[in-house]
């Protein structure tokens, strides 16, 4: 059969070269017994490829069973696929045939195959290699002649690195790969699909078919469609049912497309090599290094102010600044602070390694570096109390805090009455 005949028989809409290529591979591999792995994002229509392969094969008169591996609980999936013997587990009141026994001579479509537990993957690998399986609770080896077509929207090579999928099973399943493109990669088909769905829903709900304005059509084709064909179908049905005016403009269409502006923007990509983000890292290190230098300068100013006679630290402005700095420090939890310091130190070390000429000698600043805000606050409170001969009311006004707060801090710092 030709590609056009397959499209008409299975209701496939579109003329994208990537789609045509996928259909052509399915036609070529169908007469063989090779395992096929269908890849593509969720919602691209992967379930159609196994049907094409089965119907064009010599197995078309035998069973075709589609199994959603992600919908079967882990504890029962072995029983579903391979069957079980009576009494093999709680609730096994009678023996049961599994899909591989029922579909003997036919085709099994394993959708979302990457969701299979590792133990089940071992059993599946044996079926692929020898055609043998053992029921749950049995020791008898049984034979089956089943063709397996699998599908997944998961990046299996990445799952193999994370030890979530067996590499030997992947190579057995991936004898012939068939990849279905995402809807955003076949823009020329988007409007055709929309018109087909609109016509179907118009007949289903007995109403006029909706039409798109030119600007609405452009917006429809430029949307990224993360849910692919399934999302397009749902949006078309919503508009068909809800909108009274069957001429849909761009503004009306955008109301049915979540974050249409954000979805069409490019996204940041973290490269494994890291070379593409070199400029961003340089800027970040520079900012962090400058920030550390500014903090050091601020500590020096505070230290000088404490040892000066100009009365700045005894002024209301000075007291408010010190209080604000102390409150900000208190807001950082004991668990957050070490993590932030660790991240900062790592960034600084890497920056200093890459830019040794920009390192500042800070040995003369050891005294300022060890000065804490808590010690500064304690010294301010002592000075205020000494200035007013221990009168807390006057001292609290001088410091710009309440008398109750002053009393609490005196107790906290264990400051003796002056």
Return the CATH number at 61.
Answer: 3.40.50.300
User: Is the confidence at residue 289, as pLDDT, over 90?
Assistant: no
Chain centroid to CA 391: 60
Within this chain, do residues 123 and 144 fall inside the same structural domain, yes or no?
yes
> Which of 43-52, 101-110, 213-222, 404-413 is the least confident region?
404-413
Domain extent for 226: 184-263
Q: Of the residues 157, 181, 205, which one is the last residue of a structural domain? A: 181
Within this chain, do residues 132 and 210 fall inside the same structural domain, yes or no?
no
Contacts of 55 (CB under 8 A, 6+ apart): 30
Q: Of the residues 181, 208, 228, which one is the last residue of a structural domain? A: 181
Task: Indicate the burial class of 133 (C-beta count within 10 angstroms; 0-12, 13-18, 19 or more).
Answer: buried
Count of structural domains within the chain: 3
Kindly report the backbone phi and psi dihedral angles of residue 35, in degrees, each rounded to the nearest multiple of 5, phi listed first: -75, 145
Residues 16 and 3: their CA atoms lie apart, in Å, by 12
Task: Indicate the burial class of 158 (C-beta count within 10 angstroms; 0-12, 13-18, 19 or more).
Answer: exposed
**Does the residue 269 lie in any domain?**
no
Within this chain, do residues 65 and 203 fall inside the same structural domain, yes or no?
no
Within this chain, do residues 84 and 135 fall inside the same structural domain, yes or no?
yes
Within this chain, do residues 155 and 211 fall inside the same structural domain, yes or no?
no
Within this chain, do residues 98 and 122 fall inside the same structural domain, yes or no?
yes
**Does the residue 268 lie in any domain?**
no
**Does the residue 46 lie in any domain?**
yes
pLDDT averaged over every residue in the chain: 82
- 316, 400 in Cβ contact below 8 A? yes
Within this chain, do residues 296 and 252 fall inside the same structural domain, yes or no?
no
pTM over 0.85: no
* pLDDT interval class at 315 (50, 70, 90): low
Q: Which of 85, 77, 83 is nearest to 98 (CA)?
A: 83
**Does the residue 200 lie in any domain?**
yes
- Which CATH number characterizes residue 209's domain? 1.10.8.60
Tokens at 107, concatenated = 């085709």
Q: Residues 291-307: pLDDT tens digits?
A: 777 777 676 666 666 55
């Amino acid at each position: 059969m030709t590609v056009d005949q397959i499209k008409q028989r299975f209701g496939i809409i579109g003329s994208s070269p990537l789609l045509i290529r996928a259909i052509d591979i399915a036609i070529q591999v169908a007469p063989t017994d090779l395992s096929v792995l269908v890849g593509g994002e969720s919602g691209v229509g992967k379930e159609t490829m196994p049907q094409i392969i089965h119907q064009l094969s010599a197995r078309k008169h035998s069973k075709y069973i589609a199994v959603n591996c992600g919908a079967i609980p882990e504890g029962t999936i072995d029983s579903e696929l391979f069957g079980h013997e009576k009494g093999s587990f709680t609730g096994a009141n009678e023996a049961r045939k599994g899909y591989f026994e029922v579909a003997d001579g036919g085709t099994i479509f394993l959708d979302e195959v990457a969701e299979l537990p590792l133990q089940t993957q071992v059993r599946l690998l044996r079926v692929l290699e020898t055609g043998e399986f053992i029921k749950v609770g049995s020791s008898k080896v049984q034979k089956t002649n089943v063709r397996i077509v699998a599908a997944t929207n998961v990046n299996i090579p990445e799952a193999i690195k994370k030890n979530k999928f067996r590499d030997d099973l992947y190579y057995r399943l991936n004898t012939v790969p068939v990849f279905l493109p995402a809807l955003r990669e076949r823009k020329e088909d988007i409007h055709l699909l929309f018109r087909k769905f609109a016509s179907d829903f118009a007949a289903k709900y007995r109403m006029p078919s909706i039409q798109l304005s030119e600007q609405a059509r452009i917006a429809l084709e430029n949307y990224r469609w993360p849910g692919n064909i399934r999302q397009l179908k749902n949006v078309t049905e919503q508009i068909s049912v809800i909108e009274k005016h069957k001429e849909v403009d761009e503004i009306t269409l955008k109301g049915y497309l979540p974050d249409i502006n954000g979805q069409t923007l490019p996204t940041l990509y973290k490269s494994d090599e890291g070379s593409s983000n070199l400029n961003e890292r340089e800027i970040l290190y520079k900012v962090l290094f400058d920030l550390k230098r500014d903090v050091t300068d601020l500590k020096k100013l505070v230290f000088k102010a404490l040892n000066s006679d100009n009365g700045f630290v005894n002024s209301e402005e000075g007291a408010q600044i010190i209080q604000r700095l102390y409150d900000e420090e208190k807001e950082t939890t004991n668990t957050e602070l070490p993590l932030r310091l660790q991240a900062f130190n790592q960034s600084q070390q890497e920056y200093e390694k890459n830019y040794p000429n920009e390192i500042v000698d800070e040995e003369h600043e050891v005294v300022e570096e060890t000065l804490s805000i808590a010690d500064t606050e304690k010294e301010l409170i002592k000075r205020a109390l000494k200035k007013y001969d221990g009168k807390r009311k006057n001292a609290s006004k001088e410091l710009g805090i309440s008398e109750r707060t002053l009393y609490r801090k005196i107790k906290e710092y264990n400051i003796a009455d002056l």
